[in-house]
Amino acid sequence: TPAAASGDEGLFSGAVLFIYLLCPLNILSLLFVTAPYGKHSRAGWGPIISPAIAWFLMESPTLWLPLLLLPAGRHSSNPIALFILCLFFVHYIHRTLIYPLRLRRLRRPAGSIASGFPLSVAAIAFVFNFLNAYVQTRSVSHYSDYGGRQWRAGVSTAARVAIGLSIFIWGMAVNIRSDLALVKLKAEGGRGYKIPRGGWFEAVSCPNYMGEVAEWLGWAVVAWSPAALGFFFFTASNLVPRARSHHKWYVDKFGEDYPTSRKAILPFVF
């Protein structure tokens, strides 16, 4: 009915707006309180679960919710919509299924950095992923206008999609390679964290975060929607402050041994 349709539209617009509003709140709170997992783990955040289980559970809405929502979209069989959603899935199949399997294989000898993951942090991430999966799926499969100017067949559309896709693929490659290098370092480093070396680690402390931010920038360039742009801003608002905290942590821990030319997340700049 028209009333139900306008209710759905109101819910969707409100959720997109909420993602934008979360960005400044996120930056502000992360400047004062670093999310308490990994290097920044500390007591007082409630029960702890294994990082592999945490990543699997908290990222899982990005796989099952789109599958549930897609059939209800007016573009559910539009090839452009399916292509954009496929990119989202490629990222989240890795993050939800493959990455936790890699973490699970880590051996944890006595005295190792077998840090756990607070259930409270995983629960917050679950809620965000649920919201974001709803927003991105509905945007791509229902509310985007593939008959509009930004999708008109022609050189400018092809160029935009090619540029966005290249940034997305580059970001994903850097993200996965850097995460792999870190997990390998963790597996080797029985007695604690080490200074990561090689590749993009020579330029920044957190190339995995740099790659992730680039991925969602590229995806937003391809999808060209307020929802996708909001997710890019949200990812940056989350990972830039955390990269700053990681960078400071490395400098504090390793002092003069830590390469001074290394920035936090953006080579030569920040």
**Within a 10 A sphere around the Cβ of 165, how many other Cβ atoms?**
16
Maximum distance among all alpha carbons in the chain? 66
Beta bridge partners of 22: none
Minimum CB distance to ligand NDP, residue 189 (Å): 5
Q: What's at 266, amino acid-wise?
A: L
Pick the closer one to ligand NDP by CB: 196 or 230: 196
Q: E strands, 22-126, where?
A: 48-49, 117-118
Residue nearest to ligand NDP (CB): 38
- As measured in angstroms, the least distance from the Cβ of 253 to ligand NDP is 9
In the bound state with ligand NDP, the residue whose beta carbon lies nearer, of 85 and 142, is: 85
**Shortest distance, CB of residue 242 to ligand NDP, whole angstroms?**
6
41 versus 78: smaller Cβ distance to ligand NDP: 41
Could you tell me the smallest distance in angstroms from the CB atom of residue 259 to ligand NDP?
A: 13
Residues that bind ligand NDP (CB under 6 A): 38-39, 51, 103, 113, 115, 175, 179, 182-183, 185-186, 189, 193-194, 196, 208-209, 212, 235, 238-239
- Cβ proximity to ligand NDP: between 152 and 253 the closer is 253
Pairing outcome for strands 48-49 and 117-118: antiparallel
Which of 165, 187 has the CB closer to ligand NDP?
187
DSSP 26-93: HHHHHHHS--SSGGG--SSS--EE-HHHHHHHHHTHHHHHHHHHGGGSTTTT-HHHHHHHHHHHHHHH
State in angstroms the smallest separation of the CB of 81 from ligand NDP. Answer: 22
The burial of 61, by beta-carbon neighbours within 10 Å (0-12 exposed, 13-18 middle, 19 or more buried), is given as buried
